[in-house]
Structures are given as C-alpha cells and as structure tokens.
C-alpha cells in the first residue's frame, strides 16, 4: 500500500467510510462529487449506495494497486441487474468471471477480431465508411446535423461489417437491428432500483429484466439470419483478403474439441458487447441530444 493510501486507511485495513453519502445525496456529476469526498476522506474510502458497499479509489497509486498489482482479485465485474436478470447476456467478455471462459474468449477475440480481418481489408472498410459519412454530410449542406447520429452510424456500420461482413442487403433489417442495439444500450443505462437493492432483482420492479429478455429474443431472430447470410458470403470475403469475425468464430466452433468451453451463446453475447462497447463507449449520446 503506498504512503498516501496508508495514511488515509485506518489500522484495521478497511477503507475509511464516507458517512454522509447516500443515494439521495449523489450528484449528477458523480466523478466531481467523488473527487470532493476524496479531498475530505482520502484517496480510498467506502460508501453505501442502497444496500451496496462501494469503494472509491481516487489516486493513481490506489488505482494502480487494485487494478495492476492485485488485478486478479479485482478482475471480476459486478453485472448490473439488467444483465443478472437475464443470464444469457452474461456469456460475453465483459461479464464472464475471470477464468478459462474469459481467457479463451479474450484470446479468440484478439486473434480473430483485432488481427483476423487483414489490415488492408480493414483499411478499405474504414475508408468506405468515412466516405459514406462525408457523403451524408454533403447531402445535408446548410442544414443542422446531429453529429452524434452521424458518428454512431459510422461506428455501427464499421463494427457490423467487421463482425458479420455487413448486414443484410435489406435496409430495413439494418434499421430494425439497430433498434435492438439501441434498446440494449438504453436498458443498460436505465436507472434501476435493483442495482442498489440486489434483493429486489427477482421482483424486477421496473421491468428492466423482462424488457432485456424481449430485446434478446429479437436479437436471436437476427442472429440466425446474419449467421446464415454470413456463411454464404464467407468464401467471397476470404477471396477479397478479409474475413468477418463471424467466419472466424464458426471455424473455432467447428474445430472445437470436447473440453473447449466456448459455445455459440458466448459469441452471441460477445458480438452484442462489441457493438455496444464500440459505439456507445467511445461516442456516448450527450444528454442534450436524447
């Protein structure tokens, strides 16, 4: 433990509590609020939000200690109620517990997604989508433009092309599937009382779990369609020097040996995660544009 963190930590080794904080005293700019509490309580303090005990780390040394020196202890993420209410959504990289499934998924993702498509194929895909974005902007010259919408669409097109080799030629399918992606993002971000009072998860008072299940049922239908189309396009893509991630995944499953932990459900959850992670994290919708 570094000196700064040690001084702020009582002898018992448990972080000093920040007594006044409760759900009702949280401020919308949570990072600034926590920074203010850290000035009073030190770089390592705990607080209760609902019945959950949370720990805030706010110095580079404290963060390094937890996420680097003891990364295995802190490796697991705590899924939100929208995810715990629906187990199949937990099979991807983000929520899989640290272990064999997570390690195998990560290895396959790095191999097939990040380096599998071929650099030249990826470059030409990016060029094509940036040109399309510029053409869309030109077509609206003189009119107000929703920049977030333009950037989200471009990122979404790049990702779906990398994952499935592009969505169905039928434009409606792409629009409908995007509604599913946006629905999942909305449910993940919706304030949910079960996140702060986990005993309420099974009651699903706000229906977030039920709505997530409906979104996933719709996703299942598109998934079957995209897998079927992707299989048909696979050979053609390979001839062009690129290979969609889906092709790589199907090959991994075909080569699968008895003890391999991955199934199609893992890839289905992973694909959704990569689209959500690749669109909403880098380009979050600003509060004013919603």
Question: Which residue, 103 or 127, has its beta carbon nearer to ligand HEM?
Answer: 103
Q: Is residue 277 involved in binding ligand HEM (CB under 6 A)? A: yes
**Least distance from C-beta 281 to ligand HEM, angstroms?**
4
Give yes or no for residue 99 binding ligand HEM (CB under 6 A): no
For ligand HEM, which residue of 6, 52, 106, 131 counts as binding (CB under 6 A)?
106
Contact between 282 and ligand HEM by CB under 6 A: the answer reads yes
Could you tell me if 92 and 264 are in contact, meaning their C-beta atoms sit under 8 angstroms apart? no
Cβ proximity of 269 and 90 under 8 Å: yes
Q: Virtual CA dihedral for 92, 95, 98, 102, nearest 10 degrees?
A: 10
Q: Is 173 exposed, middle or buried (0-12, 13-18, 19+ CB in 10 A)?
A: middle
CA 265/CA 157 separation, integer angstroms: 23
DSSP notation for 164-199 = HSS--S-HHHHHHHHHHHHHHHHHHHS--HHHH-GG
Q: Is 79 in the site for ligand HEM (CB under 6 A)?
A: no
Separation CA 51–CA 49 (nearest Å): 6
Q: How many residues bind ligand HEM (CB under 6 A)?
A: 9
Instruction: By CB under 6 A, tell whether 273 contacts ligand HEM.
Output: yes
Q: Does 129 bind ligand HEM (CB under 6 A)?
A: no
CB of 241 to ligand HEM, least distance (A): 21
By C-beta, is 42 or 80 nearer to ligand HEM?
A: 80
Q: Select from 38-46, 190-198, 211-219, 276-284 the region that touches ligand HEM (CB under 6 A).
A: 276-284
Binding residues for ligand HEM, rule: CB under 6 A, are 93-94, 106, 273-274, 277-278, 281-282
């Amino acid at each position: 433990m570094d000196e700064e963190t040690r001084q702020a930590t009582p002898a018992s080794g448990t972080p000093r509590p920040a007594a006044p904080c409760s759900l009702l005293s949280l401020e919308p700019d949570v990072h600034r609020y926590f920074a203010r509490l850290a000035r009073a309580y030190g770089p390592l303090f705990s607080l209760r939000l609902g019945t959950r005990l949370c720990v805030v780390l706010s110095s580079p040394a404290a963060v390094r200690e937890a996420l680097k020196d003891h990364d295995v202890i802190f490796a697991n993420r705590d899924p939100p109620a929208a995810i715990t209410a629906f187990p199949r959504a937990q099979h991807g990289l983000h929520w899989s517990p640290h272990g064999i499934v997570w390690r195998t998924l990560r290895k396959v993702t790095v191999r097939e997604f990040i380096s599998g498509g071929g650099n030249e194929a990826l470059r030409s895909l990016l060029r094509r989508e940036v040109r399309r974005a510029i053409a869309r902007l030109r077509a609206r010259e003189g009119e107000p433009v929703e920049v977030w919408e333009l950037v989200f669409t471009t990122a979404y097109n790049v990702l779906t092309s990398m994952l499935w080799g592009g969505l169905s030629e039928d434009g409606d399918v792409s629009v409908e599937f995007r509604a599913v992606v946006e629905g999942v993002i909305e449910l993940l971000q919706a304030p949910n009382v079960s996140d702060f009072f986990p005993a309420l998860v099974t009651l699903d008072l706000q229906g977030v779990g039920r709505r997530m299940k409906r979104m996933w049922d719709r996703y299942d239908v598109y998934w079957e369609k995209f897998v079927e189309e992707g299989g048909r396009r696979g050979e053609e893509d390979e001839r062009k020097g690129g290979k969609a991630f889906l092709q790589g995944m199907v090959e991994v499953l075909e080569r699968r040996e008895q003890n391999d932990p991955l199934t199609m459900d893992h890839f289905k959850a992973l694909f959704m995660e990569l689209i959500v992670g690749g669109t909403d994290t880098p380009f979050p919708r600003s509060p004013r544009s919603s």
